[in-house]
């Protein structure tokens, strides 16, 4: 009974973990900010902490604390890099020793002709890449939720004619982009969120963007598994196909000696007619 309870608790925790969603929030109002969130945790991806030091609203005390944190993080990253480089050097030394042993064995043993490895053609590689991209868009788009909270663009170039041309291109691009996102994902546009306009008096383009994206861990796992299985099937199908070989040339039949008649199988030569 206790075992069943433990198994049920483990399955429930796994199902709860897979149902959680990974959130991203993209903002632009003169400066790009990108934040990520998972469950109750929030992370600022852009701008980085080093850029916060130039913030004039930050107090000197907070600046000192932030600088100490940055220095400690840099020291930890340097120590990790040194450890990784040491491991790489050790691996290279071991691999060099193994290669030297293999070379000695090959030089002692008689050389054998190695079979030619079949290389994947460029056309097959492109087909595989296109197939994987389509699969990712179809599978991943089903689990991706995009919410456009604010998308306001004001086109301005300083010249009325060029402003009108750029305005038409920007409005069409926004429409095409939203149609594409709506096709490959679950798109939701907030009411009164879209606004594309033209300012014929200004010389600088302005934008206010706020877009949120979310995807569940179950969706990420399902997409990764389907893409991996498709890749394995494609590789197995290519391996089953035999390499293209030129047709074997048939040996020419030896010429018949002079004075001998060639007889066809199953047929007799006609008898000569006798004149009375």
The pair of three-digit structure tokens given for residue 34, joined into one six-digit string: 């990108």
Residue 136 maps to a domain: no
Residue 76 maps to a domain: yes
- Are 146 and 91 within one domain? no
Q: Which residues of 232-265 are buried (b: 16+ CB within 10 A; e: fewer)?
A: eebeeeeeeeeeeeeeeeeeeeeeeeeeeeeeee
Residue 64 maps to a domain: yes
Kindly state the percentage of the chain with pLDDT values over 70.
78
Report pLDDT for 53: 61
- Are 146 and 89 within one domain? no
| pLDDT, averaged across the chain | 79
Report pLDDT for 207: 92
pLDDT at 110 over 80: no
Place of tokens 């199953």: 266
- As a whole number of angstroms, the distance between CA 89 and CA 77 comes to 18
The secondary element (H helix, E strand) that includes residue 7 is helix 2-19
Residue 259 maps to a domain: no
Sequence-ordered alpha helix ranges (H) in 46-114? 49-52, 60-108
Helix (H, G, I), strand (E, B) or coil at 197: strand
pLDDT at 120 over 80: no
Range of the domain at 203: 142-241
Report pLDDT for 270: 55
pLDDT at 82 over 90: no
Helix (H, G, I), strand (E, B) or coil at 186: strand
Q: If you average pLDDT over residues 247-270, what whole number do you get?
A: 49
How many structural domains does the chain have?
A: 2
Is the model's pTM score more than 0.75?
Answer: no
More confident residue, 73 or 246: 73
CA dihedral 85, 90, 95, 98 (to 10 degrees): 180
Residue 21 maps to a domain: no
Residue 235 maps to a domain: yes
Q: Whose CA is closest to 137, among 257, 241, 31, 223?
A: 223
User: What are phi and psi for residue 52, nearest 5 degrees?
Assistant: -70, -20
Indicate the length of the chain as a whole number: 276
Question: How far, rounded to the nearest angstrom, does the alpha carbon of residue 80 sit from its chain's CA centroid?
Answer: 27
Least confident range from 17-31, 128-142, 189-203: namely: 128-142
The secondary element (H helix, E strand) that includes residue 35 is strand 32-38
Report pLDDT for 145: 92
Report pLDDT for 251: 43
Does residue 218 contact residue 19 with C-beta atoms inside 8 Å? yes
The secondary element (H helix, E strand) that includes residue 215 is strand 206-216
Kindly state the percentage of the chain with pLDDT values over 90.
20
pLDDT at 122 over 50: yes
Residue 117 maps to a domain: no
Q: What is the pLDDT of residues 198-233, one digit of tens each?
A: 998 888 889 999 999 999 888 888 888 888 888 888
């Amino acid at each position: 009974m206790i075992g069943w309870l433990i198994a049920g608790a483990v399955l429930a925790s796994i199902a709860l973990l897979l149902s959680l969603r990974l959130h991203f929030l993209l903002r632009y109002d003169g400066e790009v900010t990108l934040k990520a969130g998972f469950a109750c945790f929030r992370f600022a991806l852009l701008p980085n902490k080093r850029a916060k030091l130039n913030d004039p609203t930050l107090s000197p005390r907070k600046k000192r604390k932030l600088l100490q944190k940055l220095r400690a993080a840099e020291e930890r990253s340097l120590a990790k890099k040194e450890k990784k480089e040491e491991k790489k050097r050790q691996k290279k030394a071991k691999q060099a020793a193994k290669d030297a042993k293999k070379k000695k064995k090959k030089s002692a043993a008689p050389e054998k002709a190695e079979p030619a490895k079949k290389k994947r053609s460029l056309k097959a590689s492109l087909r595989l890449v296109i197939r994987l991209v389509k699969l990712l868009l179809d599978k991943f788009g089903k689990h991706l939720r995009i919410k456009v909270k604010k998308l306001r663009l004001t086109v301005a170039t300083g010249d009325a004619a060029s402003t009108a041309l750029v305005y038409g291109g920007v409005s069409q691009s926004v429409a095409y982009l939203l149609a594409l996102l709506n096709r490959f994902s679950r798109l939701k546009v907030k009411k009164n969120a879209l606004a594309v306009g033209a300012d014929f008096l200004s010389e600088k383009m302005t934008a206010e963007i706020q877009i949120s994206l979310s995807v569940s861990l179950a969706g990420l796992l399902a997409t990764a598994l389907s893409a991996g299985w498709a890749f394995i099937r494609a590789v197995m199908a290519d391996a089953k196909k035999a390499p293209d070989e030129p047709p074997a040339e048939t040996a020419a039949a030896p010429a018949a000696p002079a004075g001998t008649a060639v007889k066809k199988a199953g047929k007799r030569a006609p008898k000569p007619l006798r004149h009375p």
